[in-house]
Amino acid sequence: MSLMQEMASRAQLLGIPMSAHLDVTYRCNERCVHCYLDHDDNGEMTTAEIKDLLDQLAEAGVFILTFSGGEVFLRRDFLDLVAYARKLQFNVKIKTNAVMIREAEARRLRELAVDGVQISVYSHRAEVHDAITKLPGSFEKTIRAIRFLKSQGLRVTIANVLMKWNMGDHTGVHALADELGVIYTLDPTITPKIDGDMSLLSLRIPGEQLAQVFQIEKLVGNVDEFCAPPKPVQEDDLDAYSCSAGHTLAYISPYGDVYPCVQFPLPSGNVRRQKFSDIWWNSPQLKEVRSISVRDLPVCSTCAHAGACSRCPGLAYMEGNMRGPSTADCEKSFRRTGIPSANMLRRQGQSVPTMPLIQIRPADTTSSIGPMAS
């Protein structure tokens, strides 16, 4: 266990929100085909409101602060907000399409000692990337910005969301990331719209393609180990929680709404009406999320994958039940190991086998595969 993981465990025991994801706007200069947000401004928090929120987050113990959107640089006060956050000694991470980042912005982010910048790149081919973002010229601008950021010594990560439109391009994007000297991550998860619209799920890559991705050593490390059948479920596995959402992570929308995670749109309060700490400690919704361990999941607790599943409670919630399975994660577990999940077998009317479990982990520090928030 790394020191950071140790501190995260301690934060969970103490109930401290060690991480916060703050979307400062839903407005965007791109219109990505798979985006789960709308892009209207329905009353974003003002600069003063966000600074007050940042004060509250620091007071509550938040250490890792991720600024995201929408496109963060569409807010004219964005660098001012980053500067304020850094004065409060947050470990600041930024998610952006980078289209608006030039030398001056890159230099300023370096001066402010931002910890990392995550940038979405969908293809190494400009025509494919631009077709997904629906912004002509976006590939060229994004890659130019990555070079600016790298020249300043910033840590840059390329986030490669995989969907039907670009499923043959991940090798090219990975090679591009290597050429640029940046970290590469791949995410095959397309999520429903935040308003519950499921139509985007048709963009998900077919299961057979997912199985092929799990065979790429450069992404997953030891393929035999990564794809091995699950180990037997232990008692500790059943006492565990699905993820950090609502435990050590909070999401705040541009309108001040607080959710357990950006992928878990369970309204839990609004910082325009309540203090963040009041929501964090007293929200019935967050208390309910925290009360659920694997043991409390009627289907998943009987699953062979229960000890190593990447089950997203937010995706389960959007499927209708936060205690239910997340079918996208059932699919991942199945395509990785060839062992169907309890949910898949239930749907087929079969009994549940007991199989050994394994853990999903990245091959190394410069590439990984897994879910991303945006």
Partner 1 sequence: MSSKYLARSSQIAARLLGGEMMIMSPLDSTFFTLNEVATVIWQAADGNTTLDEIVRDHVVPSFDVDPAVAQQDSEEFAYELCRHGILLVSDHPISAATRPESS
Binding site for partner 1 (CB under 8 A): 2-4, 7, 10-11, 14, 16, 18, 58, 61-63, 86, 89-92, 111, 113-115, 155
Query: Minimum distance from CB of 104 to partner 1 (Å)?
Result: 13
> Would you state the torsion angle of the CA atoms of residues 352, 358, 362, 365, taken in this order, to the nearest 10 degrees?
150
Integer Cα distance of 231 and 31 in angstroms: 42
**C-alpha pair distances (Å), 307 with each of 230, 355, 356:** 8, 10, 9
- Note whether 259 and 251 are within 8 A (CB): yes
Of 89 and 351, the one with the shorter C-beta distance to partner 1 is 89
Of 58 and 180, the one with the shorter C-beta distance to partner 1 is 58
Nearest CA among 334, 252, 343, 244 for reference residue 303: 343
Query: Minimum distance from CB of 90 to partner 1 (Å)?
Result: 6
Length of the chain, in residues: 374
Query: Minimum distance from CB of 27 to partner 1 (Å)?
Result: 28
Query: Minimum distance from CB of 290 to partner 1 (Å)?
Result: 18
- Note whether 310 and 360 are within 8 A (CB): yes
- Note whether 289 and 266 are within 8 A (CB): yes
Of 84 and 255, the one with the shorter C-beta distance to partner 1 is 84
Of 91 and 293, the one with the shorter C-beta distance to partner 1 is 91
Nearest CA among 224, 225, 192, 190 for reference residue 210: 190
Of 58 and 223, the one with the shorter C-beta distance to partner 1 is 58
Evaluated on CA atoms 183, 189, 194, 197, the torsion sign reads positive
Query: Minimum distance from CB of 159 to partner 1 (Å)?
Result: 18
Integer Cα distance of 90 and 38 in angstroms: 28
Evaluated on CA atoms 101, 370, 286, 322, the torsion sign reads positive
Query: Minimum distance from CB of 11 to partner 1 (Å)?
Result: 6
Of 91 and 209, the one with the shorter C-beta distance to partner 1 is 91
Query: Encoding tokens for residue 96?
Result: 């952006």
For the chain, first and last CA: distance in Å?
27
Query: Minimum distance from CB of 198 to partner 1 (Å)?
Result: 38
Of 337 and 368, the one with the shorter C-beta distance to partner 1 is 368
